[in-house]
Amino acid sequence: MLSGKRLLLIVSGGIAAYKTPDLVRRLRGQGAEVRVVMTPAAAEFVTPLSLASVSGHRVYQDLFSLTDEAEMGHIELSRAADLVVVAPASADLLAKLAHGLANDLASTLLLATDKEVLAAPAMNLRMWQHPATQDNLARLKARGLQVVGPDEGEMACGEYGPGRMAEPDAIVAAVEDYFNAPRPLAGLKALVTSGPTHEPIDPVRYIANRSSGRQGHAIAAALAHRGAAVTLVTGPVQLPDPQGVQTLHVESADEMLQACRNALPVDVAVCAAAVSDWRASEQAEQKIKKDGTSPPALQLSENPDILAQLSKAGTERPGLVIGFAAETRDVAAQATAKRERKGCDWILANDVSAESGTFGGPDNSIILIDAAGREDWPRISKEEVAERLAARIAQTLDRTPVEEHRMPDRLQDGQQQ
Ligand code: CTP
């Protein structure tokens, strides 16, 4: 099942590390090639010699080892892998990965890799249940980390609960699932906008809105997970860049538009950014000071509409253009009119009234409107909205690459009128 697959197995410190020789044996039994990296703590629970014997390769432990670097540099270790597996994944290693620490070989590899990571957490149940661990995990999952386990059961410390590492055969099954997962968007390019934009008033002040970027980032991750090559253009957000996604950071609507134009041509564009509709007509070069009289009047100019521009991009128009409609009343009717006005193919209408809790919150209720009518989705998390949307995109697009998606120019001109 895993013939020809190259795995990088990172073993961190925990009693479950004693199961890793068995895991390596099973992975190799399915045809995988396994290279092993250990943290110093892991070597307290399982010897490098056992893992070298079962993997058939030397085991890497030291970031600064001249001999290791000469044989296979640490960047090469992850470059040469098809998937990175972390088993057991300790609370400490998950925390390092969540926060971008890189102070040993394992954490450095995890930070430097552009490959997907599958983690099998294992730790004491209180460590597992601690909000710090759960926060780290949520952050990592949002970034695309795949997780198997932990199982519930009796722990080495005598307690009972969740925290036991998934059994080796369950980890092997998760690795197989990863490689067998359909990649319906492989070979296709996607562009996603996310987050708010910041429109400067003077060097210290700006106009913005409450967008968290969660929805757009989740969509970028879901499309990448299905094999698309994704460019995410994001305004300022407090979120990590999703794994496996080319992420471009911008501030203003103008910068976002430019970055989107540069990313064309693409097969699908999803505009999830809450672009500021207006910017200050003139940006003061110095901080505007109070002068004790009346407050300054702010003259506003309209920003470019990125969704409308992408929808009307002539020969550069993505095969499928999708927008959001943030509405506070008459949601479906407003969104239907917005779809027509902007010229996009689908619009995902959401209620952003204060009482809905959508803006900045974890959930979203969507009404999807396309040429055929409306589809009401239940209130689900923004990650689930992203999965559902990515699946619908995959169903709609065939695997034809960008060039062949385009309609003949004549037809497109007609469509724009
Ligand atoms: N959008 C955009 N560029 C803008 C404004 C909006 O790309 N300058 C996109 C958003 O990413 C979203 C869609 O247009 O996909 C609708 O955004 P929304 O804020 O609902 O609509 P507005 O165009 O701002 O219209 P209004 O404020 O009048 O409701």
- Rounded average pLDDT over 284-306: 92
Backbone φ/ψ region at 388: left (φ over 0), alpha (ψ -120 to 50), beta: alpha
pLDDT attached to residue 77: 86
Is the pLDDT reported for residue 153 higher than 90?
A: no
Is the pLDDT reported for residue 68 higher than 80?
A: no
**Is residue 325 within 6 Å of ligand 1 at its C-beta?**
yes
Lowest mean pLDDT among 28-32, 47-51, 237-241, 265-269: 237-241
145 and 26 belong to one structural domain: yes
300 and 158 belong to one structural domain: no
Distance 305 CA to ligand 1 centre (A): 7
**Is residue 303 within 6 Å of ligand 1 at its C-beta?**
yes
The model's confidence at residue 249, banded by pLDDT at 50, 70 and 90, is very high
pLDDT attached to residue 404: 46
240 and 340 belong to one structural domain: yes
pLDDT attached to residue 141: 84
Structural domain of 283: 189-410
The model's confidence at residue 100, banded by pLDDT at 50, 70 and 90, is very high
* Tokens of residue 283, six digits: 């940006």
Which of 180, 215, 238 is the last residue before a domain boundary? 180
Distance 104 CA to ligand 1 centre (A): 45
Is the pLDDT reported for residue 90 higher than 70?
A: yes
Contacts of 65 (CB under 8 A, 6+ apart): none
99 and 209 belong to one structural domain: no
- Rounded average pLDDT over 88-111: 95
pLDDT attached to residue 66: 63
- Rounded average pLDDT over 265-271: 97
Distance 274 CA to ligand 1 centre (A): 7
Distance 323 CA to ligand 1 centre (A): 8
pLDDT attached to residue 238: 92
Look up 271 and say whether it is catalytic: no
Distance 25 CA to ligand 1 centre (A): 54
Instruction: Give the sign of the dihedral formed by CA 393, CA 396, CA 402, CA 405.
Output: negative
90 and 195 belong to one structural domain: no
Lowest mean pLDDT among 3-12, 90-99, 179-188: 179-188
Q: Which of 192, 277, 303, 348 to mutate to test the pocket of ligand 1 (most atoms within 8 A of CB)?
A: 277
58 and 116 belong to one structural domain: yes
Q: Which helix (H) or strand (E) holds 322?
A: strand 320-327
Q: Which of 219, 250, 275 to mutate to test the pocket of ligand 1 (most atoms within 8 A of CB)?
A: 275
Q: Which residue's C-alpha comes closest to atom 17 of ligand 1?
A: 325
pLDDT attached to residue 411: 35
**Is residue 323 within 6 Å of ligand 1 at its C-beta?**
yes
| Cβ–Cβ < 8 Å for 345, 407 | no
224 and 155 belong to one structural domain: no
pLDDT attached to residue 299: 96
Measured between its terminal Cα atoms, the distance across the chain in Å is 53
Is the pLDDT reported for residue 408 higher than 80?
A: no
Lowest mean pLDDT among 172-181, 295-304, 305-314, 348-357: 348-357
Is the pLDDT reported for residue 74 higher than 80?
A: no
pLDDT attached to residue 3: 93
**Is residue 347 within 6 Å of ligand 1 at its C-beta?**
no
**Closest to 344 measured CA to CA, from 368, 320, 372:** 320
pTM: 0.71
pLDDT attached to residue 413: 37
pLDDT attached to residue 242: 83
Distance 144 CA to ligand 1 centre (A): 27
297 and 363 belong to one structural domain: yes
- Rounded average pLDDT over 363-375: 93
162 and 224 belong to one structural domain: no
44 and 139 belong to one structural domain: yes
pLDDT attached to residue 80: 87
Quick check: is 417 in a domain?
Answer: no
Is the pLDDT reported for residue 250 higher than 80?
A: yes
pLDDT attached to residue 412: 38
Question: In this structure, which long-range contacts are made by residues 324-332, counting pairs with CB atoms below 8 Å and at least 24 apart in sequence?
Answer: 324/215, 324/271, 324/272, 324/348, 324/349, 324/350, 325/349, 325/350, 326/274, 326/350, 326/352, 326/359, 327/351, 327/352, 328/352, 328/353, 329/353, 331/367, 332/367, 332/369, 332/374
Is the pLDDT reported for residue 405 higher than 60?
A: no
Which of 156, 180, 204 is the last residue before a domain boundary? 180
Which of 159, 180, 201 is the last residue before a domain boundary? 180
**Is residue 326 within 6 Å of ligand 1 at its C-beta?**
yes
Report which of residues 43 and 356 the model is more confident about.
Answer: 43
Q: Which residue's C-alpha comes closest to atom 16 of ligand 1?
A: 325
Q: Could you read off the pLDDT of 133-146 as tens digits, one per residue?
A: 999 998 888 777 89
Atom of ligand 1 nearest to the CA of 272: 11
Tell me the H-state helices in 164-298.
Answer: 168-180, 214-225, 253-263
Is the pLDDT reported for residue 97 higher than 80?
A: yes
Average per-residue pLDDT for the chain: 90
Is the pLDDT reported for residue 207 higher than 70?
A: yes
pLDDT attached to residue 34: 97
Number of domains composing the chain: 2
Q: For a pLDDT cut of 90, what percent of the chain falls above it?
A: 71
121 and 151 belong to one structural domain: yes
Quick check: is 301 in a domain?
Answer: yes
Quick check: is 416 in a domain?
Answer: no
Lowest mean pLDDT among 62-76, 284-298, 354-368: 62-76
Please name every residue paired with 374 in a beta bridge, in sequence order, or none if there are none.
Answer: 369
- CATH number, position 101: 3.40.50.1950
The model's confidence at residue 240, banded by pLDDT at 50, 70 and 90, is confident
Contacts of 365 (CB under 8 A, 6+ apart): 350, 351, 356, 358, 377, 378, 379, 380
Q: In this structure, what DSSP letter does residue 148 have? A: -
HEC per residue, 69-138: HHHCCHHHHHHCCCEEEEEEECHHHHHHHHHCCCCCHHHHHHHHCCCCEEEEECCCHHHHHCHHHHHHHH
Q: Which residue's C-alpha comes closest to atom 4 of ligand 1?
A: 305
pLDDT attached to residue 173: 96
Is the pLDDT reported for residue 417 higher than 60?
A: no
| Cβ–Cβ < 8 Å for 44, 84 | no
Atom of ligand 1 nearest to the CA of 322: 15
pLDDT attached to residue 183: 87
Q: Which residue's C-alpha comes closest to atom 12 of ligand 1?
A: 324
